[in-house]
Chain A
């Protein structure tokens, strides 16, 4: 497999009986994802899009061998569900849900620390290994199988960059949307490490944006550990200071978190940083050629 998910991964949909859960289950199945079950308390025994629904995650794991799970559940329910899901032994949880209180996210993070479950999100568009499987809401037709790993703080911008790369015949091994909240459950460096070890990935693209310090930490990691080339695009060089630009984490405060400071940190450790999204294609081509 590439990283995190492949066509064999046995996926569970939590919140499968809701409007979004239902539609997205259909889209995931159409893409080829191995959706083995859904969870919706009190609705065990129903069938949604041909998928059996269970009352609890424990039942779904026992009866269907679920290994990964995606959350389409309301924000107040996420913290408890995440802890239950980790306890049930699920190895990958993708949290699509938006507007989870940040104290709850910190609580989940603390609980997950000493476990070996990967949690992606919240506010994640999902994870896709093109041509194999997708977990989340990413539109499948924007991606193409290949050898480039992508880590993105933004959903739609990861589609833009993937579809531009795909059009230039540069497919992706896996694309991960880490989510755009101020606190996320998995940071960029942890995913860089997975891509560095993945034999099916030749190069990694980081899609960042203003606010926070993810990109600076990525630069430190790249400097110490990465042997594969990395290309980056950081959105927001025209973003005004002190305004939250749609994502809770996307804000320039006290002059920090600017596009320039992030680009400089990455540039310094040998990362090619694009000024505009389509330039990523050119920089990826250059990096692959000079390898």
Chain B
């Protein structure tokens, strides 16, 4: 089943992975209430930086990272941060860290060159919020390298990259070493992104990671029990979470036509076509292993959203013949007395039998091979409803 996704870690989780490879981050505390933040700020020392812990980018611009000079301010800012949402996600806790003086900032990142299928290391003299724009305007401030996965990133190459962006003196060796450590974080944890933005040099000559971003390929989690990841914490929409539990991909959209599709591409095409005339309530794709039990559960899932006007089913038999799924649809409709219109296009092995099973339950079966035609049928049915 295709419900593969990439799992972003919280900053504090990523910091722990950094520490295992010897990347130094300032000591921090986690607080999930204003009072707790005040308590922790007393321990780490003022001025303190309060950072929203969220699984999305853009928290600086959303006001999720702020400096507090007094304990009162710590409480007040924490209350504000915990009360906001960033990128649609609630903020469960804040990280409390002592403010670090920085002499110089750097950007270090390892990610995928997906098209070429190879890791790429990126180094820039411009750490901070606007790293993307700065680098676009001044490509000479950035160096990047494809890293063969069997040999990895050598210190020699990392030093070359440091020279390329104009570093000198102690910065060359130190930044190269940090980049090599970051590559190890990437490789050892099956990451698809490992990023430090910014890494700073303090007036005392220390090199510290002031932020930590790691995304793990969740197809690899079976071989990382040590990550001890509670997957349920990493998905925020309850229906999306539920979809994951039953082994399908559910993405909530803002319309009222429920969709059940087998295959991601067909699901995408279906929301394209539905969107011409109607508004899809969700994207849902079952993967290839359709059976009775799965479609029974999927019917329940798409109907959990309020105000669904109709269900559109668009499936191809793959690994299993398609009539098994039809039985699950029908059983759900009987047990839950589903009365809204259900339109289905189902092709593949034993399709005639499938159509018969669905029709007996009052499902409108479209035997035309095009999804456009099937959506037309649905649209004209709803037209007549008004």
Contact = CB atoms under 8 A, between A and B. Distances in A.
Interface of A: 20, 23-24, 75-76, 98-103, 105-107, 109-111, 123, 125, 137, 139, 141-142, 152-160, 163-164, 167, 180-185, 187, 207, 209-210, 212-214, 217, 233, 235-240, 242-250, 254, 275-278
A102 B251 contact: no
Given A100-B219, A123-B2, A250-B264, A137 B269 contact: no
Given A101-B190, A137-B319, A182-B112, A157 B119 contact: no
Contact of A103 (B220, B272, B283, B287): B220
B176 to A, nearest CB: 23
A275 B273 CA distance: 9
B117 A109 contact: yes
B265 interface: yes
Q: Chain B's interface: helix, strand, loop or mixed, by majority?
A: mixed
B: interface residue count bin: 35 or more
Interface string B191-210: 01000000000000000000
A107 B115 contact: no
27 contacts: A20-B319, A23-B319, A102-B217, A106-B112, A106-B119, A109-B117, A139-B348, A155-B263, A156-B262, A156-B266, A156-B316, A157-B263, A157-B268, A157-B269, A158-B265, A160-B370, A163-B369, A167-B369, A182-B192, A184-B117, A212-B115, A233-B269, A239-B271, A243-B251, A246-B2, A248-B219, A276-B276
B61 interface: no
Given A98-B1, A99-B4, A277-B370, A245 B251 contact: yes
B149 A139 contact: no
A164 B370 contact: yes
A23 B279 CA distance: 38
Contacts of B276: 276
Interface string B1-17: 11111100000000000
Contacts of A183: 112, 114, 117
A187 B317 CA distance: 26
A259 to B, nearest CB: 8
Of A106, A125, A275, chain B has the most CB atoms within 10 Å of the CB of A106
Given A75-B219, A154-B265, A278 B371 contact: yes
Of A103, A137, A278, chain B has the most CB atoms within 10 Å of the CB of A103
B160 interface: no
A246 to B, nearest CB: 3
Nearest to B191: A103
Contacts of A209: 264-265, 268
A238 B370 contact: no
A135 B271 CA distance: 30
Interface string B243-283: 00000010101000000011111111101110110001001
B150 interface: yes
A154 B4 CA distance: 14
Nearest to A99: B219
Contacts of A106: 112, 117-119, 149
Given A156-B318, A160-B266, A278-B370, A246 B3 contact: yes
B76 interface: no
B6 A248 contact: yes
Nearest to B148: A110
Interface in B1-52: 1-6
A245 B264 contact: yes
A98 B369 CA distance: 27
B252 to A, nearest CB: 9
B126 interface: no
Contacts of A276: 269, 272-273, 276, 372
Given A107-B150, A137-B318, A238-B272, A245 B347 contact: no
Rank and list the top 7 A-B pairs by shortest CB-CB distance, nearest first.
A154-B265, A246-B264, A156-B263, A157-B265, A235-B268, A101-B220, A156-B266
A76 B219 CA distance: 10
Given A100-B219, A212-B115, A248-B4, 11 more contacts: A101-B219, A137-B288, A153-B265, A156-B262, A156-B265, A235-B265, A235-B268, A242-B56, A246-B249, A246-B267, A249-B114
B346 to A, nearest CB: 12
Contact of A101 (B87, B223, B271): B223
A237 B283 CA distance: 13
B191 to A, nearest CB: 9
B285 interface: yes
B114 A207 contact: no
Interface in B348-385: 348-349, 369-373
B309 interface: no
B187 interface: yes
Nearest to B270: A235
A152 B265 contact: yes
Of B192, B280, B373, chain A has the most CB atoms within 10 Å of the CB of B192
A282 to B, nearest CB: 11
A139 B370 contact: no
A239 to B, nearest CB: 6
A139 B317 contact: yes
Given A107-B149, A240-B251, A139 B4 contact: no
Given A137-B319, A212-B115, A237-B272, A155 B6 contact: no
A213 B266 CA distance: 19
B372 A242 contact: no
Contacts of B222: 75-76
A275 B149 CA distance: 39
A133 B190 CA distance: 37
Contacts of A24: 319
Contacts of B6: 244, 248
Interface in B143-189: 148-150, 187
A163 B271 CA distance: 20
B112 A247 contact: no
A187 B117 CA distance: 10
